[in-house]
Amino acid sequence: MDVGVVVNMSGDAARQNDDAAAPSFDRMFALVESDLGRVNQHILDQMQSPVALIPQLAGHLIAAGGKRIRPMLTLAAAKLCNYTGSRHIGLAASVEFIHTATLLHDDVVDESALRRGQDSANALWGNQASVLVGDFLFSRAFQLMVADGSLPVLKILSDASAVIAEGEVLQLTTANEPQTSEEDYLQVIKSKTATLFAAASRVGAAVAERPSAEDAALDSYGMNLGIAFQLIDDVLDYSAKQAELGKAIGDDFREGKVTLPMILAWRRGGDEERAFWRRTVARLEQEDGDLQRAIEIMQSRDALADSVDRARHYGAVARDALGIFPQSEIKDAMLELIDFCITRAH
Amino acid sequence: MDVGVVVNMSGDAARQNDDAAAPSFDRMFALVESDLGRVNQHILDQMQSPVALIPQLAGHLIAAGGKRIRPMLTLAAAKLCNYTGSRHIGLAASVEFIHTATLLHDDVVDESALRRGQDSANALWGNQASVLVGDFLFSRAFQLMVADGSLPVLKILSDASAVIAEGEVLQLTTANEPQTSEEDYLQVIKSKTATLFAAASRVGAAVAERPSAEDAALDSYGMNLGIAFQLIDDVLDYSAKQAELGKAIGDDFREGKVTLPMILAWRRGGDEERAFWRRTVARLEQEDGDLQRAIEIMQSRDALADSVDRARHYGAVARDALGIFPQSEIKDAMLELIDFCITRAH
């Protein structure tokens, strides 16, 4: 599950920043803050509809905050490519609409009662409204792209949308299968998370009409950052740090969602541990204390620490992808974002 | 619910055609048959995915037949506009994908167990897969449009998609409300059915790059045909004719979906009848014999016959919309299609 980073800079992130060594989100946020304000306004304008339930439900999810990391990638990439127009605003909103539509449908699929610590839209308005408002936001995303008028951008985002949906279907087939391979897991998180990170980044190069090498570099940056981000998200679902931030842990475990920490624990475990995973994850027969037991097994098998190491690998690839761009404030912020995404696990 | 006409020409429609006076689907079918074969092949090719569940589930719905009336409108409109290229094939497939995605999500929203007389996809594979495969088909529809490369076509279909989703949400708010106004009902069926009929027809003019008067005429033809089509569908759900065709009746009643026959019956009924509608539709407290009672009330209040009359009105508008086109075989077939859509109520 994509639980994400905290963008409210007044709280934890600000405190974290007091520690000079800790990577933070502040620099990125400061550089794109004014553009992001315009994106937020555009999002609010474009989610309006004479059908009152649409802005109500969309507003619950969109206006509630959330990290806006995907539209931020579009804004940052456009800046990195020295883009000076304003097309990136509408397209960043479009990216966020695609993401929000996906979240609404995800919550229906997962039967989630909570999203970002609040009641989820489907818990409040029912699955029906969540499915249909998701469809509306998805359609609206395409309307925004059509209004922008760039076929290359439409191609980037329609291709990404198809891959995301494919990844979500693939994820259904890996659920409750602790024997899932690391490759299949990677395929799922690439499709359902990293592809939109990559597409969001590429849109920045597309509006700036940069050469294909820069498009490819931003594709790689977004894809690898997205993989690292999702790996860390999946670690956080078993992490004490996450619990400290006041967020629920164990959602994936309770749903029988198979992520890398569990895959590693399964592969490294003996018969007795595999029987535990079969009972709790494959058959979803869970008792009090099982989540704690799962975390203890993962720790004893180094499954959490090694999942973070895997994330570091993808972070390193993302870093080198930006090597073709000259040094700049925004490049530094994009590099720091990689580190921030990874270190939030600690 | 959109249950539609029967396209298999070997059965009822062929018999119906023995009666020289009865409008049929045959002429239209014969004129677009070879193009429709190409569309069907394109649909089969484009619903492939390495994720096996996608072609399985999509194939259940798409390959199972269905009427293909929407892609047929694109093919017919292109022919009416003397289009000689092949762009209409991929775009007709795109229209059918949008429709199929909508059906998949509709069945989840309605919790339908049957679709076209077969187990619905959500009954067979679960709501999760239906939501996600619907998302995939919707994304694939946009990929097909992007491959076609026409921004005007993308605008027609992305605008239509947003209106469809809006209409579906609006429909949620009219459910179980027998006091729904005729205007609100019309708004729902325009959005959820007629808008895609109109868009499908307009795409034919768009590929032929015809002047805006022809685009407007096809918009009006599709919109009014779609309204008539949905009105008749809603009548058929209470019709003996429908039962004769071996199709279930009473789905709308059981779900508390409010359509014109019920709206008219409510407005024309007295206190005792309104109490019946409140119990069965607003509170969904239904007993054996209630569906029969509902049909009897509708008949005694002329609600079914007058709903067909309303459909005739829209059919007449659709007919006149085509007045700007010179006589041709395809125009005659498009006019006959209007009559066929309406007379299937008898």
List the pLDDT tens digit at each of the 346 positions of chain A.
333 333 333 334 444 444 556 888 889 999 999 999 999 999 999 999 888 888 888 888 776 667 799 999 999 999 999 999 999 999 999 999 999 999 889 888 777 655 555 676 776 777 888 899 999 999 999 999 999 999 999 999 999 999 999 999 988 888 889 999 999 999 999 999 999 999 999 999 999 999 999 999 999 999 999 999 999 999 999 987 777 767 778 989 998 999 999 999 999 999 999 999 999 999 999 999 999 999 999 999 999 999 999 999 999 999 999 999 999 999 999 999 999 999 986 6
Nearest to A142 among B136, B142, B168 (CB): B142
Cβ B68 vs Cβ B128: under 8 Å: no
* ipTM, interface predicted TM-score of the complex: 0.83
The residue type of B43 is I
Q: Is A183 on the interface with B (CB under 8 A)?
A: no
A108 and B129 in contact by Cβ < 8 A?
no
- Nearest-angstrom CA–CA distance, A242 and A93: 28
Residues 6 or more apart whose CB falls under 8 angstroms from that of A342 comprise A228, A232, A308, A311, A312, A315
Amino acid sitting at position B40: N
What is the Cα–Cα distance from B28 to B73, expressed in whole angstroms?
Answer: 10
- In terms of Cα–Cα distance, which of B99, B269, B283 is closest to B177? B283
Q: Which residues make Cβ contacts (< 8 Å) with residue A37, sequence separation at least 6? A: none
pLDDT score recorded for residue B175: 83
Interchain CB distance below 8 Å, B132 and A49: no
User: Do A165 and B127 make contact, defined as CB atoms within 8 angstroms?
Assistant: no
Q: In chain A, where do the E strands start and end?
A: 114-115, 118-119
Tell me whether residues B131 and A109 touch, CB distance under 8 A: yes
Q: Which residue from A218, A219, A234, A221 is spatially nearest to A186, judged by alpha carbons?
A: A234
The answer to whether the Cβ–Cβ distance between B161 and A139 falls below 8 Å is yes
Q: How far is A195 from chain B (nearest CA, A)?
A: 14
Q: Is B164 on the interface with A (CB under 8 A)?
A: yes
Render B46-88 in DSSP notation, one character per residue: HT--SSTHHHHHHHHHHTT----HHHHHHHHHHHHTT--SSHH
Q: Residue B38 corresponds to which tokens in the numbers above?
A: 């190409």
Q: What is the 3-state secondary structure (H, E, C) of A237-290?
A: CCCHHHHHCCCCCCHHHHHCCCCHHHHHHHHHCCHHHHHHHHHHHHCCCCCCCH
| Partners of residue B191 in chain A, C-beta under 8 Å | none
Place of tokens 């985002």: A157
The model carries a pTM of 0.87
Any bridge partners for residue B118, and if so which? B115
B325 touching A (Cβ < 8 Å): no
Per-residue confidence (pLDDT) for residue B59, from 0 to 100: 82
Which tokens in the block code for residue B19?
Answer: 């009666």
- CA of A138, closest CA in chain B: separation in Å? 8
Measure in Å the smallest separation between the Cα of A172 and chain B Cα atoms: 8
Which residues have a Cβ under 8 Å from the Cβ of A332 and sit 6 or more positions away? A27
State the helix-helix crossing angle for A260-268 and A303-321, rounded to 10 degrees: 130
Among the listed residues B197, B60, B211, the one whose alpha carbon sits nearest the alpha carbon of residue B137: B60
CB atoms within 10 A of CB A16: 18
Cβ-in-10-Å burial (0-12, 13-18, 19+) of A213 comes to exposed
CA pair distance B224, B312, nearest whole angstrom: 10
Q: Give pLDDT, residue A117.
A: 59
Backbone dihedral region for residue B314 (phi beyond 0: left; psi -120 to 50: alpha; all else: beta): alpha
How many CA atoms lie less than 13 Å away from A107 in the CB half-sphere?
A: 30
* Residue-level pLDDT at B172: 86
Ranges of residues in chain B with a pLDDT under 50 are: 1-18
Token duo for residue B207: 């590929």
DSSP annotation of A118 reads E
**Nearest CB partner across the interface for B140, out of A50, A133, A162:** A162
* Closest residue in A to B159 (Cα–Cα): A143
* Domains, chain B: 20-343 (1.10.600.10)
The whole-number pLDDT of residue B21 equals: 65
Cα B74 to Cα B84: distance, rounded to the nearest angstrom: 13
Alpha carbon distances (Å) from B227 to B222, B237, B341: 9, 16, 10
Structure letter (DSSP) for residue B30: H
Residues of chain A with C-beta less than 8 angstroms from the C-beta of B151: 146, 149, 151
Could B49 and A166 be called an inter-chain contact, meaning their C-beta atoms sit closer than 8 Å?
Answer: yes
Q: Chain B within 8 Å of A89 (Cβ-Cβ)?
A: no
B274, B178 in Cβ contact below 8 A? yes
Q: Which of B128, B140, B130 is nearest to B96 (CA)?
A: B140
- CB distance A12 to A245 below 8 Å: yes
Determine whether the interchain pair A161/B168 forms a contact, defined as Cβ–Cβ distance below 8 Å: no
Using a 10 angstrom Cβ sphere, with 0-12 exposed, 13-18 middle and 19 or more buried, the burial of residue A346 is: exposed
Q: Supply the pLDDT for residue A114.
A: 56
User: What sign has the CA pseudo-torsion B169, B175, B179, B182?
Assistant: positive
**Residue A124 in tokens:** 């409040």
CA–CA dist A105, A108 (Å, integer): 5
Token pair 């509809």: residue: A49
Q: Return the residue of A nearest to B192 by Cα.
A: A132
- Report in angstroms the alpha-carbon separations of A168 from A82, A182, B85: 35, 16, 36
Minimum distance, in Å, between the CA of residue B103 and any CA atom of chain A: 12
Which of B146, B171, B174, B187 would you mutate first to test chain A, the one with the most A CBs within 10 A? B146
Within 10 angstroms of residue B130's Cβ, the number of other Cβ atoms is 27
Single out the residue of A178, A190, A181, A180 nearest to residue A228, CA to CA.
Answer: A190
Report the distance separating Cα B170 and Cα B301, nearest Å: 27
Distance, C-alpha B299 to centroid of its chain = 24
Q: Which residue has the tokens 């032929």?
A: B208
Q: Which residues of chain A lie closer than 8 angstroms to B164, CB-CB?
A: 135, 139
Q: Which residues of B touch A136 (CB under 8 A)?
A: 162, 165-166, 169
Nearest CA in chain B to A163: B136
Interface residue B64 vs chain A (CB under 8 A): no
Inter-chain CB pairs, A–B, below 8 Å = 133
Contact assignment for A151 to B149 by CB distance below 8 Å:
yes
Nearest to B216 by CA among B106, B344, B317: B317
Mark which residues 105-144 of A lie under 8 Å from B by CB: 105, 108-109, 127-129, 131-133, 135-136, 138-140, 142-143
The CA-based angle B251-B253-B257, given to 5 degrees, is: 90
- Please name the member of B139, B151, B164 whose beta carbon is closest to the beta carbon of A162: B139
Which residue, A276, A242, A248, A243, is CA-closest to A262? A276
Which neighbouring-strand residues pair with A115? A118
The pLDDT, as a whole number, for residue A59 is: 82
In chain A, the residue whose alpha carbon lies closest to the alpha carbon of B135 is A165
Q: What angle do CA A76, A81, A82 make, to 5 degrees?
A: 95
Considering only the beta carbons, identify the residue of B105, B132, B151 that sits closest to A132. Answer: B105
Instruction: Indicate the helix (H) or strand (E) that contains A148.
Output: helix A121-148
Cβ separation A169–B133 shorter than 8 A: yes
- Structure-token pair, residue A219: 């594709």
DSSP structural state of residue A217: H
Give the residue from A49, A57, A46 showing the smallest Cα distance to A93: A46
